[in-house]
Structure 1
């Protein structure tokens, strides 16, 4: 992989190359990995604190991202050693994803990426009674990805974006959205929720690298439709429209009252006249 990084930078010196790295809970191992990868000329690191396939018994991947104290320590090692920007990749397999995101940013990371795959069991073979996928009769929970996780990823990115906007100088940090991106519309949704960039993995695995051109073309179509000339014009544009359940109830109640006032229909049963039955009935329908 190190040779591939070098070759890519030689062939495309004007392009940004980000290396996604993961290591066990060992300071010396992390420092050696960072040093060796930096020598290839990569422009930044995405540190994988989120992979459910990272061996938890060795404190790798999601095992670190789910433990804020451990995450803070490892981020400290990495940011003290790295001379290029560092992004931390977040795991969705946690109750509140803003907690590790906050720790990563406060520990020196310049951005966060979300989400990685969701811990799951694919199924059980009802003939053999063994879990699937099966390796010599055994399995282990793995990561669920693709379009099925897209709504979950949007929710996690929204939570992180709102946290970053309220607690950090949003212009100094970045957020990368990941999860079920297969169309330009999928990418636009992440950007509307505050993402600076969007990543694609399973989509390319399923449809090939040609998907990227299609995705970019569809994203440009979306921008033309709304007369956006740059990503920044619509980044985070949908965030203000998220509120609380209590506020939604209040807003709906006020809207119903306004519609009833406009209809000038019945406000209660005592106003029933019997004339204009259809209009009077419609005036009492709340929604």
Structure 2
């Protein structure tokens, strides 16, 4: 009799989800209609685009996106300078209620942001929870536009301010409280600890990384260019996954708090990595903007297949499984050595990239003789550079004799 299929259901603190995938706060959740569309496709939850008090004027610029793409126009990195929701509070009150009524089995999180005045945060929190939000996410991490007004990352980069805002909302919140952290700090743990100390039930990490996407060398205008001028924006997309994984794992190793992983998630494999690093659920934004909300089908199918292949009973069985293998540099073994080896010589095209890389960035252990790659094992230091630059996967790292 075949084993039962692994469960994709997961819990994040007091929240129960049908699968670990939520839409992150951003353009894909800019309206109730978009959120309901995502729920129809299979997303387990969504975080509204950040709601602000009606007294805070929000006006976007155009254009407000820039990209870094590979040679096939695939996305590597994405910058945005878009602000928070332009909808009034009354709109969100109505849409939260309508969405909860139509999809009572999905998790709808209200993202909120206010001035440093704790009373504004409390009032907004009461508004969204009374409308029916299942949880509240505090946006103290937006890296562009809003910090100039003293909000967003201007709050989230200071433990005392994070603690104060979180504690204020905790006093009035009847629903689970999530704090979304910024990666734009030197050390994440003091910020995470302050949020937990203030009463956060769940931490979400990370928001976007502050960046400057590039300079147009013909016009010398920054990208994106708004009438010839630009500013620093929020960087997302596949390139920031290593930053998100680092921060999630650091928090998971030190704090007993449920985590939602965010950053660079575009495939089920990315989600599985975040879960193995300690996350209980995942938020996705940029990949949905790039490929559409329908990616949820492949993510659910892929993750389910992986769990089955690895004989995990469900998401919970994978959670944190990699943490015991992540430690200090000093604790890493100096005894086990790997060396470069031509494992698949039939694939070699004699391009010479490995030779150049090892000569100028390694230990001069790789050369070309008679049109074939030759590796001098006695010179190889096991750095693995040659295996990474080889476009055909000819060279692999193997234990020495």
Q: Which interval holds the TM-score relative to the shorter structure?
A: 0.7 to 0.9
TM-score of the two chains, using structure 2 as the length reference: 0.60
Most deviating of 61-70 and 49-58? 49-58
Partner of 2:243: helix, strand, or coil? Answer: helix
- Larger RCO (alpha carbons 8 Å, 6+ apart): 2
The answer (yes or no) to whether the contact 1:192–1:234 under 8 Å persists in 2 is yes
Q: Structure 2: give runs of 5+ residues left out of the alignment.
A: 1-91, 338-376, 383-399
Give the Cα separation in 2 of the matches to 1:242 and 1:285.
23
Runs of at least 4 residues off by over 6 Å: none
Pick the structure with greater CA Rg.
1
Find the partner of 1:83 among 174, 194, 218: 174
Shift of 1:137: 2.6
Give the Cα separation in 2 of the matches to 1:2 and 1:212.
27
The answer (yes or no) to whether the contact 1:25–1:58 under 8 Å persists in 2 is no
Shift of 1:213: 1.4
The answer (yes or no) to whether the contact 1:54–1:62 under 8 Å persists in 2 is no
The answer (yes or no) to whether the contact 1:31–1:81 under 8 Å persists in 2 is yes
Provide, for residues 59-83 of structure 1, a one-character-per-residue CA deviation record: whole Å limited to 9, x for no partner: 2111111011111111111111211
Shift of 1:54: 4.8
Find the partner of 1:252 among 324, 334, 355: 334
Give the Cα separation in 2 of the matches to 1:191 and 1:207.
22
Larger proportion of strand: 2
Provide, for residues 158-180 of structure 1, a one-character-per-residue CA deviation record: whole Å limited to 9, x for no partner: 1111111xxxxx3xx31000011
Residue aligning to 1:261: none
TM-score of the two chains, using structure 1 as the length reference: 0.83
Partner of 1:88: helix, strand, or coil? Answer: strand
Residue aligning to 1:39: 130
Q: Structure 1: give runs of 5+ residues left out of the alignment.
A: 165-169, 257-280
User: Alignment RMSD, CA only?
Assistant: 1.8
Shift of 1:93: 0.5
Alpha-carbon distance change, 227 to 108 in structure 1, aligned in 2, over 3 angstroms: same
Alpha-carbon distance change, 72 to 285 in structure 1, aligned in 2, over 3 angstroms: closer
Aligned residue pairs total: 252
* 1:210 equivalent in alignment to 2:294: yes
Residue aligning to 2:280: 196
Task: Report 1:114-153 matches (<5 A).
Answer: 114-153=205-244
The answer (yes or no) to whether the contact 2:141–2:181 under 8 Å persists in 1 is yes
Partner of 2:248: helix, strand, or coil? Answer: helix
* 1:94 equivalent in alignment to 2:185: yes
Partner of 1:39: helix, strand, or coil? Answer: helix
Larger proportion of helix: 1
Residue aligning to 1:260: none
Provide, for residues 1-55 of structure 1, a one-character-per-residue CA deviation record: whole Å limited to 9, x for no partner: 3322111001011222111111121223212211111121011011111111252
Residue aligning to 2:266: 182
Give the Cα separation in 1 of the matches to 2:301 and 2:101.
28
